[in-house]
């Protein structure tokens, strides 16, 4: 009898649970993107029409959610940033909770914050489903191996390692910090500050220590706020901000104001009360007093260093490396602070510094011209995103030619502002700077007729925006001679040409691209060609560099034309999606623009938020390679990668 009752208990309580487990299949995949970041993917698939509830932020807010719990301290999962890949159904229950379900299958993608030595991820995943009136659920334990980051040294196809990008960022910003030293806001303070430390200190050793602490304080003031922003709002917050149309428009206004200030129309300073309060605290002495002396320097020098810092933040954030802005501000701080320590170690070098004078004002005015040119760059990004067509490539180049020609005239003393000192003669350094400036202006002139200007491809608008372009005309003539690459494949079947967004978006060099993944996939299935996904952006300088320096190569161009269906997905495209194509995410955020949809696809499918990114898909929409190929100007490596992907695709067709 006892055995019979036990059997009944097993049948009524455990068999339904066992059935639920058998009807739902799980798969787990962890991928390391950098030493400290990665993604965890949890895939659920049902064989009996079970729908799965979304994984949301907190079960306290909504009990109808899946929950993830990770064991140990080797990794942290960003639960609040979970995204889902699937077809969501949204409905309300009797308690007015918003329920999000995914019929049959769903993939949850969690961003990871990792330790460098993390090798596995252990935890439990509590899922909840619905089938008719039943709500099957269970707690699944998992252990996932975490592969190491594949570096460029181990594969000829991979993206350049992040360390190389970080070092280039540091060196660039370090040089900018040294450049900021010669601005009229900073240069006069060097001898005064160093002499103050040496004379006030009881011993030379103490003076050197104080100067070093002063330098460390400057570095911390520039670096720590950037680090805090990254830690609080996520690795890509500064990247997202820097590529935003609103941010670029704001930078345009700020840089115009700075340039007018540098030309002498008015003085632009932070509120004097900030400097006064910092100065009062600096007078208390000790290490804290020295820190506030450094803060006073940062505030007082803002009118000169602010534009440089703003430019560096924009450029380093756009590289797509999460730590790059922090490294950028570290490099700038080190470059700016280094002379204060250097002159404290070798005070005799102070006598070799040139005296302050009118030359500092000339430096400031020269920066004004440079700020004006950079302002046009930020406005160009906004113009491309919103398709205003105010700053097409030829108009932009004309403005830059005029700006740098005027700058050269100023350096030669042919253009003078009211606050400039008399210039009785031209110094040799000033003459050479004028020669460089006029040469640069003349270098831009052939670009008006379509010259590629490859070194500037990341800064000027793309060639597709130019009204008259001999280069593009040659590509169109070649297409007419040789036939269009994607219209008719060898079997005679014709694919539909691109339809969506072709009135707003273009690709260079006579290529044909689809700007919608579904359209491109449909064409690929007819043409029996793999998809080349080009994640790009209007405000992406490295995308333009790849196009001009790599795509334009005849061997690369022929492969893209003949072997692939090109799908260019702009992550900052402002065109609004039709209501039927707008997406509601599990966290209730709504994707309403083409750019938001494309960026969400890039993040959820490939775990990256950086452009350019080149991924390749088969006819089922699955990646043909695990390599995430980003900015790499090596033409041969790109050709090798294209050939390897094409060979793998051909193998799948057999």
Q: Of the spans 321-325, 328-332, 568-572, 649-653, which averages the highest pLDDT?
A: 568-572
What are 345-359's pLDDT values in tens digits? 877 776 766 766 677
| pLDDT value, residue 4 | 41
Task: Spell out where 541-642 has E strands.
Answer: 565-570, 583-584, 590-591, 613-617
State the chain's maximal CA–CA distance in angstroms: 116
DSSP 443-497: HHGGGGGT---GGGTTTSPPGGG-SS-HHHHHHHHHHHHH--TTTS-TT-PPPPP
Q: What is the pLDDT of residue 148?
A: 61
Please tell me the predicted confidence (pLDDT) of residue 480: 42
- Write the pLDDT tens digit of every residue in 405-420: 999 999 999 998 888 8
pLDDT value for 56: 64
Tell me, rounded to whole angstroms, the distance of Cα 418 from its chain centroid.
Answer: 41
Q: Does pLDDT of 377 surpass 60?
A: yes
First-last CA distance in the chain: 62
Q: Please classify residue 254 by burial: count the beta carbons closer than 10 Å to its beta carbon, then call 0-12 exposed, 13-18 middle and 19+ buried.
A: middle
Residue 255 contacts residue 378 (beta carbons within 8 Å): yes
645 contacts: CB under 8 Å, gap ≥ 6? 530, 616, 624, 625
Evaluate whether 513 touches 556 at the Cβ level (below 8 Å): no
Tell me the pLDDT band of 35, cut-offs 50, 70 and 90. Answer: low
pLDDT at 468: 67
Give the closest residue to 566 by CA, choosing from 609, 505, 607. 505
**What is 423-448 written as a DSSP string?**
-SS--HHHHHHHHHHHHHHHHHGGGG
- Residue 578 burial (10 A CB sphere; 0-12, 13-18, 19+): exposed
- Decide if pLDDT at 23 tops 70: yes
Beta carbons within 8 Å of 388's beta carbon, 6+ residues apart:
382
Question: Cα–Cα distance between 397 and 415 in angstroms, integer?
Answer: 22
pTM of the model as a whole = 0.64
- 491-528 tens-digit pLDDT: 445 678 899 999 899 898 889 999 999 999 999 999 99
The CA distances from residue 437 to 65, 307, 326, 414, in Å, are 62, 20, 32, 14
Q: What pLDDT is recorded for position 395? A: 94
Residue written as tokens 């790009």? 536
DSSP element (H, E) containing 237: helix 237-242
CA 618 to CA 642: how far, in whole Å? 13
**Which band of pLDDT confidence, cut at 50, 70 and 90, is reported for residue 81?**
low
Provide CB contacts within 8 A for 174, sequence distance 6+: 331, 332, 334, 335
Q: DSSP letters along 612-631, please?
A: SEEEEE-TTS-BS-S--B--
The C-alpha atoms of residue 489 and residue 4 are separated, in whole angstroms, by 69
Per-residue pLDDT reduced to its tens digit, 167-183: 777 888 888 888 888 77
Q: Strand pairing of 120-130 and 105-114?
A: unpaired
How far apart are the C-alpha atoms of 520 and 524, rounded to whole Å? 6
Question: Looking at residues 440-460, what average pLDDT do you find?
Answer: 89
Confidence of residue 580 (pLDDT cuts 50, 70, 90): confident
What residues does 90 pair with on adjacent strands?
100
3-state SS of 60-96 is CCCCCCEEEEECCCCEEECHHHCEEECCCEEEECCCC
Mean pLDDT of the chain: 78
Q: For residues 366-380, give the mean pLDDT.
A: 90
Cβ(239)–Cβ(609) below 8 Å: yes
Question: Quick one: pLDDT at residue 531?
Answer: 96
* Banded pLDDT at 616 (limits 50, 70, 90): very high
Taking residues 630-644, report their average pLDDT: 91
Residue 607 confidence class, pLDDT cut points 50, 70, 90: confident
Give the pairing of strands 75-77 and 105-114: antiparallel
- What percentage of the chain exceeds 70 in pLDDT? 74
């Amino acid at each position: 009898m006892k055995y019979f009752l036990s059997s009944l208990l097993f049948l009524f309580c455990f068999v339904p649970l066992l059935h639920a487990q058998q009807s739902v299949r799980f798969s787990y995949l962890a991928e390391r993107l950098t030493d400290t970041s990665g993604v965890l993917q949890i895939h659920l698939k049902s064989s009996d029409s079970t729908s799965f509830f979304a994984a949301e932020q907190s079960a306290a807010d909504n009990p109808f959610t899946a929950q993830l719990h990770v064991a140990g301290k080797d990794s942290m999962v960003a639960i609040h940033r979970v995204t889902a890949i699937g077809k969501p159904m949204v409905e309300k229950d009797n308690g007015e909770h918003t329920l999000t379900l995914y019929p049959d299958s769903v993939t949850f993608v969690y961003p990871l914050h990792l330790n460098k030595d993390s090798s596995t991820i252990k935890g439990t995943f509590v899922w909840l489903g619905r089938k008719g009136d039943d709500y099957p659920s269970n707690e699944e334990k998992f252990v996932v191996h975490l592969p190491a980051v594949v570096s460029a040294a181990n594969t000829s196809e991979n993206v350049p390692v992040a360390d190389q990008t970080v070092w280039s960022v540091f060196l660039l910003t370090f040089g900018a910090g040294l450049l900021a030293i010669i601005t009229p806001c900073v240069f006069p303070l060097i001898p005064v500050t160093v002499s103050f430390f040496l004379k006030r200190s009881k011993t030379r050793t103490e003076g050197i220590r104080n100067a070093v602490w002063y330098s460390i304080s400057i570095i911390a003031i520039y670096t720590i706020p950037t680090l805090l922003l990254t830690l609080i709002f996520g690795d890509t917050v500064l990247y997202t901000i820097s590529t935003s149309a609103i941010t670029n428009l704001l930078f345009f206004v700020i840089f115009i104001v700075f340039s007018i200030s540098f030309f002498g129309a008015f003085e632009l300073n932070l509120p004097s009360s900030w400097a006064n309060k910092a100065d009062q605290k600096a007078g208390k002495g000790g290490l804290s007093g020295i820190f506030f002396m450094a803060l006073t320097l940062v505030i007082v020098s803002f009118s000169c260093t602010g534009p440089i810092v703003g430019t560096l933040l924009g450029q380093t954030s756009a590289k797509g490396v999460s730590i790059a802005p922090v490294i950028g501000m570290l490099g700038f701080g080190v470059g700016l602070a280094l002379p204060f320590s250097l002159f404290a170690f070798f005070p005799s070098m102070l006598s070799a510094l040139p005296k302050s004078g009118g030359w500092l004002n000339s430096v400031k005015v020269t920066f004004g011209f440079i700020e004006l040119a950079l302002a046009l760059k930020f406005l160009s990004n906004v113009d491309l995103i919103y398709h205003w067509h105010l700053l097409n490539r030829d108009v932009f180049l004309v403005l830059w030619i005029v700006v740098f020609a005027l700058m050269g005239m100023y350096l030669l003393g042919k253009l003078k502002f009211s606050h400039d000192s008399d210039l009785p003669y031209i110094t040799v350094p000033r003459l050479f700077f004028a020669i460089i400036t006029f040469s640069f202006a003349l270098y831009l002139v052939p670009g008006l007729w379509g010259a590629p200007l490859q070194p500037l491809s990341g800064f000027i608008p793309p060639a597709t925006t130019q009204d008259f372009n001999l280069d593009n005309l040659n590509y169109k003539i070649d297409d007419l001679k040789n036939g269009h690459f994607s219209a008719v494949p060898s079997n005679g079947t014709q694919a539909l040409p691109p339809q969506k967004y072709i009135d707003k978006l273009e690709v260079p060099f006579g290529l044909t691209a689809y700007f919608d993944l579904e359209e491109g996939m449909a064409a690929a299935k007819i043409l029996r060609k793999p998809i080349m996904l080009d994640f790009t952006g209007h405000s992406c300088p490295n995308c333009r560099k790849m196009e001009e320096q790599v795509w334009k190569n005849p061997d690369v161009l022929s492969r893209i034309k003949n072997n692939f269906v090109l799908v260019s997905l702009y992550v900052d495209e402002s065109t609004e999606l039709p209501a039927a194509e707008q997406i509601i995410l599990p966290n209730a955020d709504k994707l309403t623009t083409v750019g938001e949809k494309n960026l969400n696809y890039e993040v959820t499918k490939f775990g990256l938020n950086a452009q350019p990114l080149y991924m390749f898909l088969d006819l089922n929409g699955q990646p043909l390679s695990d390599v995430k190929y980003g900015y790499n100007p090596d033409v041969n490596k790109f050709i090798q990668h294209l050939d390897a992907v094409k060979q793998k695709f051909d193998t799948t067709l057999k």
